[in-house]
Amino acid sequence: MIIGSLKTGSVECEEKRMRVWKQFKKIVATMLACSMLVGSMAACACGEDSGNGGNPTPGSGQSGSQGGQSGNQGGQSGETKKITLTVWSPAEDQAPQEGAPNGLLAKWCGEFANEHPEWDITFQYGVCSEGDARDIVTKDLDAAGDVYMYANDQLATLVGAGALAEFGGSALETIRTMNNETMFRSVTYEDAVYGVPYTPNTLILYYNDEMFDEDEVKSLNTMLEKDLGKGVAAFGMDITDSWYIEQFYYAGGFTLYGPDGTDEAAGTDIGDFGFVTEFLVDLVKNPKFHKESGDDSITRLKNRTLGALVSGSWKASAIKDALGDDFETAELPSVTFDNGVSGVMRQFTGSKAVGVNPRCENMAAAVALALYLGSESVQRDRFEYRGVTPVNVNLAESREVLESPIAEAENAVVLHTSVVQPTVPAISNWFTIVETFANEIYNGTITKENAAERTKQLEEALNAGTGF
């Protein structure tokens, strides 16, 4: 330490020691004040412009001061600190709502400002969907939002780009206590936490309860064997989407990046599961199967030519409208393969979360806002206004959530029939390589005769990170 470098025995030296000691105490105090957040905190102009920063994709929303009441004292200086926070969110959160004429995001930010009179906050809003965060935020970190939402499958890329600050201290403990283990792990990368989850990102089974009962939908084989009439498919999903097809291989028992999806070096053993590929070859040829494309499944559900569909919460409203009183949901079913192996279809499960830009100038306020936007009260609003399933452990057990068939099914999948989506960088190989593989199954290039060989080739491509 600097103190230890000074010699003793003179007044001058003692005066120097006292000055250094005072400086040291100031440094310690600053470090303690920043303990809520661990990570890079390089200064930038993150709150100085409109939130677009010249980036054409995020649209500017409302901007205005929503700080605490004038005259309130903030900090040791006795003055309220004037700050600007740029917040990016999906457009749905900024659309006018009954009870939120300026949009939900403005409502939440106003509530946050009222709870923090120590800051006189001017909020600047930009539009950026969770799925687009990786591409938009990383274009220009200095111009990106101070606080933004992202899908957790982008976690490794965002962290690698220096686009997410790590949470620590009391903030970390708050995130831990608000979430179950699956959701907590969904925002964890290399033992560090980078977000506040607010909804699960997974798939569930929607079905027509006039065509199937709750026991029949527990087995895919049972559904496919049931005669629903001429031209009626029993089961549908986007089989060529690499975020769907893994369900079958997990049912067969394969592993991806180790037992918990965190060991990139472990690769995958999918080459041993050619029997799953053979099952899929038969499935796509089965007239009882419907390969979803766009919104055609909604049409088929509405005209009663499709009995069940695997999809996400983003289609829940349309599916519910299509099925009306026949609408029901369930966890993912089990499947039995031709060789007798049986297992439950397991879906990648992640989350959508609130993250903080490490280059934010007002870090303490940004961290506090991120925690608020992922809080129980805001999750309740998302659920009540938009039907977005909450992940907060208290809300998940609340009467209104338990009575929601969509939320109930999503939470059941998270707890019982899911696998935490790997966040290692190599997961990008899975999505690109397996998409090609899945399309070859659907197009007939992969057959039952070459299924074993092609599945081995898939494993080699995934583990090498090469094209298929």
Q: Are 446 and 279 in contact (CB under 8 A)?
A: no
> What per-residue confidence (pLDDT) applies to 317?
82
User: Edge-to-edge strands of the sheet including 166-167?
Assistant: 37-38, 166-167, 192-193, 188-189
Q: Which residues of the chain have pLDDT under 50?
A: 1-57, 59-65, 67-76
60-201+350-408 and 204-348+419-464 agree in CATH topology:
yes
> What per-residue confidence (pLDDT) applies to 58?
56
SS3 48: coil
Per residue in 16-75, pLDDT (tens digit) is 444 444 444 344 334 433 444 444 333 333 333 333 333 334 544 444 445 444 333 344
Task: State the burial class of residue 270 (Cβ atoms within 10 Å of its Cβ: 0-12, 13-18, 19+).
Answer: buried
Q: Are 369 and 167 in contact (CB under 8 A)?
A: no
Token pair for 365: 């306020």
Distance CA 147, CA 124 (A): 11
- 88: β partners: 126
> What per-residue confidence (pLDDT) applies to 77?
52
Distance CA 368, CA 175 (A): 12
Distance CA 224, CA 73 (A): 67
SS3 388: coil
> What per-residue confidence (pLDDT) applies to 78?
59
Enter the CATH code of domain 204-348+419-464: 3.40.190.10
Model pTM score: 0.72
Enter the CATH code of domain 60-201+350-408: 3.40.190.10
> What per-residue confidence (pLDDT) applies to 417?
84
Sequence spans of domains, the chain: 60-201+350-408, 204-348+419-464
